[in-house]
Structures are given as structure tokens and as C-alpha cells.
């Protein structure tokens, strides 16, 4: 089966005609639905030529110059996904300066989304030493549970989101209690825990796929929201509201870290668990709270990703590397480093598209990660480890 989604600026394009043919005379045709999705059933494996009829694209939407409208694919193994990247229509392009403004705003938004998840990764790493490769699945869980409450139980999106945050917080605490706490008690090594988190990540991801399916879904509300034009800027109201929610959550976390007893305790645990425990801090309780916070923040991050680019079973995995890049750039285990790193990575990814093709923007960011580690191995705000 061949399938794909034709989108423009994140929303599906309806009514685009796609055909597929092969050497032995097969010919199939499909038209994209309201979400831009299409699929063509193919009788057997082999090489197919897939063509998008550019005349059926709506005004203002065109395939990117590099993309072209035909693809030759090898449908050997089951499903093959085919992409036709679209760009701005033939209408006048924005100037570099205008693009830069737009990309800066996009970059900051991405940075905020990454920061929510990165903060959790960093706090958990700081307090327990765990490099959590299953954190992306917490992000996905946030979006999936919001989707569940809103699309399946038909609750309003805002209420669904709040319910999702609460349930993810609870599940975070549970995950810590059932799994990680036990491993800490057994004295499992840090690398072993890291590998366990990889296994857990794979398991949860395919569990999501099992129940949710492979398609990208939109939340029932606000999915095709009109963008606002603010001077050269185009931004959707949902993105603005999402950014505000993210900023509030981040500020609240900072307040928690700096001003509350529990937050201070968490920093003490990160600094020196043995000393913290000796001075009467209940380390396990602190860690559990950190997990609740981390899971809730990750869930919010997932909801925001879902709002802008839809919900899918592996959405968290797709941004996990960027989250790690952010945390590493800032310095593993330092909360403020994670925030700083996220904003840097977010801006870098978006602004790099001024000079490199958008499809390679993550490559640029990951490359910078390696460069920064070369110059400053402990990350921007990190501390060097002790010897002896």
C-alpha cells in the first residue's frame, strides 16, 4: 500500500489527485481527503511510479522546487509512505528579514515546547542519574490522552488538556514507583537503567501504535485555525495561547525550584544525594515529585506539539533527540541549562532554514550539538564531574 499526506503549513490539502502505476500495467488513483491524506492499494510488491497532479493543488499551494511531482518507489515491504513537500505558492516571497522575524518566532515557540520536555529530562537526570530514553513517550502520552478525552469522550479541548496533564502526572508518579524506584533499590547501574528506558520506550511506543494506529490525527477543535497576520508575522491564536501556557508552566517550575521547600530539596538531592539524605530530606519523595513534574511538563509539551502538527504514535520519539540536544547543550542535569539549551536549539533549527534546506534543519541542530561538546564538554551551564 502506498500512502501519504499532502499538507501546506501544517494543515491538510483536500482534493489533490494522485496516481500510481507500475510496469505490468497497474494503475491506481486517489484523491486526498479533508486531512490531506491519501492511500492507494497496490496488488503486489514492486516498483511504482507515483504522480501528483499539480493542477489539482489549490491556489497559493505549490510543490517545492526541489520536490518535483513524481516519485519512483519500491513497495517491497507493506506500506510505503510518500511525501510531496509543499511550499508557498507562486505569490511573492517574503524578504529575508521578514523570514528571519517569522523564523525567530517559530524558533522561540519550538524552544518553549522543547524546554517543557527538557526540564523533565534534566530534573530526572539530576536527581536520579537516569538518562531517560522513554521521555519522548511521556510527550506522546500527553497528546494521546488529550486526543482520547476530546475526540473519543467528546470533552472540550481545554478540559481534555487539563485532564491529560493530571493523568500524565499520576502516570509519571506511578512509573517511578513501579519501575525506577525498584531499580534504584536493587542498585541497578546507571547504564543498565538507561538501557531499560530504551526498552520501555520501544514497548510503550508500539503499544501506542497498537491502540492508536499509524495515522496522524488532529484534535477535534482548532485544527484548521486561521492564522493572524501581525505585520510580517503569521501566527495562529492557538500557538499564542500554547506559548503562554508553556511560559506559565516554565515560570511555575522555576518558582518551584527556587522558592519552595520541595524544589530546594530537589536541587540538594541533585547536588549530593547522600548529604541530602543525611540532612533529613526524604530523597525518594523528592524524586517522585520530580517525576510528577517531569511527566506533567512533558505532557504539556506533547499537547502543544499536537495542536500545531497533529497527534501520532511516535511524535515524542521524533523530538526526543532535539530534547536531548537541548539538555546536552545546556549541560546535563542543570535545569537552567535545559531551558537555555532548548531556546538555543529551537532558534537554531528554525533560523538555519534561512541557509539550509528545511528538510535538513535537524541535521544542523544536531551538528551544532557536537560542536558545542567539542568546545565545552560539560555543556554551557554544566559542571565538570569529580575525580578521585
Ligand X SMILES: Nc1ncnc2c1ncn2[C@@H]1O[C@H](COP(=O)(O)OP(=O)(O)O)[C@@H](O)[C@H]1O
Contact footprint for ligand X (CB under 6 A):
383-384, 386
Kindly indicate which of the ranges 28-36, 142-150, 187-195, 284-292 contains the residues binding another protein, using the contact rule CB under 8 A. Answer: 187-195
- What is the nearest approach in angstroms of another protein to the Cβ of residue 168? 20
User: Is 44 one of the binding residues for another protein (CB under 8 A)?
Assistant: no
Grid cell 511525501 in the structure block, residue: 83
Beta bridge partners of 97: none
Query: Among the candidate windows 52-60, 94-102, 143-151, 269-277, which touches another protein by CB under 8 A?
Result: 269-277
Among 59, 210, 231, 280, binds another protein (CB under 8 A): 210
User: 78 to 137, contacts with another protein by CB under 8 A?
Assistant: 78, 83, 85, 131
* Max Cα distance, the chain (Å): 78
* Alpha-carbon 308 to chain mean position: 11
Cβ–Cβ contacts within 10 Å for residue 161, how many? Answer: 26
Strands 2-5, 37-40: parallel, antiparallel or unpaired by DSSP?
antiparallel
Q: Is the dihedral of CA 209, 215, 220, 226 positive or negative?
A: positive
Comparing every residue's Cβ against ligand X, the nearest one is: 386
8 Å CB contact between 47 and 23: yes
Closest CB to ligand X among residues 209, 275: 275
195 binds, among ligand X, another protein, none (CB under 5 to 8 A by kind): another protein
Spell out, one character per residue from 322 to 351, where the chain touches another protein: x when CB under 8 A holds, - when not.
--xx--x---x-------------------
Start-to-end CA span in the chain (Å): 59
Query: Which residues are 311's β-sheet partners?
Result: 217
Query: What string of DSSP letters covers 60-78?
Result: TEEE-TTT-SEEEEEE-SS
Q: What residues line the site for another protein (CB under 8 A)?
A: 66-67, 71-74, 78, 83, 85, 131, 183, 186-192, 194-196, 198-207, 209-210, 271-272, 274-275, 278-279, 321, 324-325, 328, 332, 357, 359-360, 362-363, 366-367, 369-371, 373-374, 377, 383, 385, 387-388
Amino acid at each position: 500500500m502506498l500512502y501519504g499526506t499532502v499538507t501546506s503549513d501544517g494543515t491538510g490539502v483536500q482534493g489533490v489527485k494522485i496516481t500510481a502505476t507500475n510496469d505490468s500495467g497497474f494503475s491506481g488513483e486517489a484523491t486526498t481527503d479533508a486531512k490531506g491524506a491519501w492511500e492507494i492499494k497496490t496488488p503486489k510488491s514492486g516498483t511504482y511510479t507515483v504522480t501528483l497532479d499539480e493542477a489539482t493543488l489549490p491556489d497559493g499551494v505549490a510543490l517545492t522546487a526541489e520536490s518535483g511531482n513524481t516519485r519512483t518507489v519500491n513497495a517491497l515491504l507493506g506500506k510505503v509512505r510518500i511525501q510531496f513537500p509543499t511550499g508557498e505558492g507562486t505569490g511573492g516571497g517574503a524578504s529575508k528579514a521578514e523570514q528571519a522575524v517569522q523564523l525567530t518566532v517559530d524558533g522561540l515557540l519550538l524552544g518553549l515546547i522543547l524546554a517543557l520536555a527538557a526540564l523533565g529530562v534534566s530534573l530526572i537526570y539530576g536527581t536520579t542519574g537516569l538518562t531517560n530514553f522513554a521521555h519522548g513517550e511521556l510527550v506522546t502520552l500527553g497528546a494521546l490522552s488529550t486526543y482520547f478525552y476530546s475526540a473519543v469522550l467528546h470533552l472540550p479541548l481545554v478540559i481534555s488538556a487539563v485532564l491529560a496533564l493530571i493523568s500524565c502526572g499520576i502516570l509519571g508518579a506511578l512509573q517511578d514507583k513501579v519501575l525506577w524506584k525498584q531499580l534504584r533499590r536493587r542498585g541497578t547501574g546507571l547504564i543498565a537503567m538507561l538501557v531499560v528506558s530504551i526498552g520501555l520506550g520501544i514497548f510503550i511506543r508500539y503499544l501506542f501504535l497498537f491502540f492508536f494506529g499509524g495515522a496522524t490525527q488532529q484534535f477535534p477543535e482548532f485544527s484548521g485555525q486561521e492564522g493572524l497576520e501581525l505585520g510580517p508575522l503569521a501566527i495562529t491564536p492557538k500557538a499564542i495561547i500554547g506559548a503562554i501556557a508553556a511560559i506559565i508552566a516554565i515560570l511555575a517550575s522555576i518558582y518551584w525550584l527556587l522558592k519552595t521547600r520541595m524544589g530546594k530539596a530537589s536541587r540538594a538531592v541533585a547536588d549530593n544525594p547522600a548529604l541530602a539524605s543525611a540532612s533529613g530530606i526524604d530523597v525518594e519523595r523528592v524524586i517522585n515529585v520530580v517525576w510528577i513534574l517531569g511527566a506533567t511538563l512533558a505532557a504539556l509539551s506533547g499537547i502543544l506539539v499536537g495542536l500545531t502538527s497533529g497527534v501520532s504514535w511516535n511524535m515524542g520519539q521524533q523530538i526526543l533527540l532535539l530534547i536531548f540536544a537541548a539538555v546536552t547543550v545546556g549541560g546535563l542535569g542543570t535545569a537552567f541549562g535545559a531551558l537555555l539549551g532548548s531556546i538555543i536549539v529551537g532558534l537554531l533549527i528554525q533560523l538555519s532554514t534561512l541557509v539550509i534546506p528545511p528538510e535538513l534543519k535537524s541535521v544542523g541542530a544536531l551538528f551544532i550539538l557536537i560542536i558545542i561538546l567539542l568546545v565545552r564538554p560539560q555543556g554551557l551551564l554544566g559542571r565538570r564531574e569529580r575525580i578521585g
